[in-house]
Structure 1
Amino acid sequence: MDSLDPLRQAAVMVPRSATSEAGSTVADAIDYLDHNEYEVALDLLTELGEAYATETSYWNLLADAAAEMNLHRAKAWCHWRAAETVHGIIRADLRLVDPAQPGARRTAIPGDGILRPLWNVGLVMPEGHPDLRVARIWVERVPHLEPSACGPVRLAPLRPEGWRHLKPGHQITMHEQAPPAGTATITQATFPVAAFSRPGFRRSR
C-alpha cells in the first residue's frame, strides 16, 4: 500500500480527539501504518469508527483495505457498518429454540450476515395476517451462533422503514418455517432522523 492507500485516506477523516474504547487514537493507527502494520491499523481504525459520527465513505475505505488484505470478515463488517450509517442500527439478544422443537434450526447461524430469515416485528397486513419482514443477521463477538444458543446480534432489514417502531425491550420472532426459530429482544434501535411511513399497515397489540 502506498501513501494514498485507503487506510491513510480513512485516517484523515478521524478527529484527533476521537478515542477508542481501549484508549487508542488516530495517531496510533498512523504509527502502525508508518511501520507497515496494516492489519493492526485496520483494526484500530475500525474501533475508532465507533467513537465518532462516521460516514459511509469511511467504512467503504476500510472495506477496500480489508479486501486488499483478503480479510473477508473484516470487509463484510465494514460494508455492514456502511449500511448502518444510512439505515440505522438494530441490535438484539437472539435466543434460538431447542433443535428438537418444530421450526428450530439444526445448524449454526453463520456470523457474517449471510442468513436472511423472516421476522415478525409486530406489523400486520390489512387482512390481519402477520406482515413478516426480511433481515440479515450479524452475530457479534463469535463467528456463529449454535442451535439453541443465545447471543447478541445485529439486524439489517431489507426494508428498514418497517422496523422504525421498535424500541429496546420489544420482542420479535425469527422464522424459517411457520413456528418461530428464535426470539430476539431489542437492545438498541437507532435510526436516521428522516422518518418513513407506509400507509395501510398497523401494529399488532
Structure 2
Amino acid sequence: MDVPRLLEAASLLVPEESATENDVTVADVWQYLTQDEWEVALGLLEELGDVQPLPLRFWEALATAAEQMRMEKSAAWCHWRCYETRNGIIRADLTLRSPTEARRQTPISGAGVLRPMWNIGIRTPTGDPDLAIAILWVEFTPSLEPGGRASVRLAPLEPQRWQHLETGQVITMHEDRSVAGTAVVLQVQRPAATRMA
C-alpha cells in the first residue's frame, strides 16, 4: 500500500470528534492529504493518536507510511506505539545520577535505543533483586544528560513481569550493578482487548 492510502486508512480509524489541545481534527488531516502534504498529515495523525487509544492497525499504518517516507524517528515512534497498544503503557519520571555518582558520562539517546535493567521490586529466591529489562524512550527531548531528569516511557521485554507496577512506585535503573537512575512511575495503563483490533 502506498503512503497516501496508508494515511487515509489510518485517518478513517480516528473518531471525527477527536481533537488535540490545538483543536487539530481528522478534517485537518484530510486537508493536508488532498494537498499531498503527507509528512504534515502523518505528524497530525501521531498527535491525534495521543488524544485517545486507537487500534493497533492505526499505528501499524503510520509506521509503514513513515518507513516508506524514510522518516526514521516517526517510524520508530509509531512502532513504539504499536508495542504499547499490544502491551500497555508505562511512563515514569526518571532522574539519572550525576557523572560523579555513576559510570555513565554520556547522554542517553532518547529514541528507544537503550535497554537498561530495572529493579521493579521482584526478588530472587535468595532475596536479591531480580532485575528486568525495558527499553527506554525519553519524552520531549532527543537525549537525557547524566544528572538530568525527564519523563520516559518503558517497553519491558517481558511485560508480564511488570504487571504489579503502580502509579507512585519508585523503581531504579541499572546499567551495571550500581544504580544509574531513579524513577517514579507516573502512569500504568494495561492493554485493552478492544484496542487490539
Query: Which TM bucket (shorter chain)?
Result: over 0.9
Match of residue 40 from structure 1 = 40
Measured against aligned partners, the alpha-carbon deviations of 1:98-139 in whole angstroms (never above 9, x if no partner) come to 1112x4311111111110010000110112111100000001
Alpha-carbon distance between aligned partners in 1 of 2:182 and 2:53, rounded to the nearest angstrom: 31
Paired residue for 1:181?
180
> Secondary structure of 1:5's partner?
helix
> Which sits farther off after the overlay, 50-59 or 118-127?
50-59
Distance 1:145 1:116, change over 3 A: same
For residue 176 of structure 2, give the secondary structure of its aligned residue in structure 1: coil
CA distance in 2, matches of 1:122, 1:106: 27
Question: What CA distance in whole angstroms lies between the structure 2 residues aligned with 1:64 and 1:192?
Answer: 22
Query: Which runs of no fewer than 5 residues in structure 1 stay unpaired?
Result: 195-205
Query: Are 1:104 and 1:182, in contact at CA under 8 Å, matched by a contact in 2?
Result: no
In the alignment, is residue 141 of structure 1 matched against residue 140 of structure 2? yes
Aligned equivalents of 2:134 and 2:52: distance in 1? 26
The answer to whether the 8 A contact 2:110-2:141 is kept is yes
Q: State the secondary structure of the residue aligned to 1:79.
A: helix
Q: Is the 8 A contact 2:115 2:133 kept in 1?
A: yes
Aligned to 2:122: 123
Counterpart of 2:81 in structure 1 is 81
Using the TM superposition, give the Cα deviation of residue 2 of structure 1 relative to its aligned residue in structure 2, in angstroms: 5.9
| Unaligned segments of structure 2, at least 5 residues | none
Helix, strand or coil for the counterpart of 1:183? strand
Percent identity, please: 48
Q: Sort the Cα spacing of 1:95 and 1:3 in 2 relative to 1 into closer, same or farther, 3 A.
A: closer
Query: Amino acid of the residue matched to residue 53 of structure 1?
Result: P
**TM-score, length-scaled by structure 1:** 0.90
1:55 CA displacement? 1.2
Shift in alpha-carbon separation, 1:45–1:193, aligned structure 2, 3 A: closer
Q: In the TM superposition, what whole-angstrom CA distance separates every residue of 1:5-64 from its partner, at most 9, and x where no partner exists?
A: 211111111111111221111010010010111111001111111223311111010011
Aligned partner of 1:97 in structure 2 is 97
Q: Which residue of 1 aligns with 2:110?
A: 111
How far did residue 193 of structure 1 move?
5.6
Displacement of 1:192: 2.6
Partners of 2:34 and 2:75 in 1: how far apart?
22
Looking at structure 2, the residues matched to 4 and 75 of structure 1 have their Cα atoms a distance apart, in angstroms, of 16
Q: State the distance in 2 between where 1:88 and 1:75 align.
A: 19
Q: What is the CA distance between 1:3 and its match in structure 2?
A: 8.3
| CA shift in 2, pair 1:5/1:132, >3 Å | same
Partner residue, 2:25: 25
Within 2, Cα distance between the matches of 1:112 and 1:2?
26
Check the 8 A contact 2:4/2:38 in 1, yes or no: no
Structure 1 CA distance for aligned equivalents of residues 95 and 23 of structure 2? 33
- Normalization by structure 2: what TM-score? 0.93
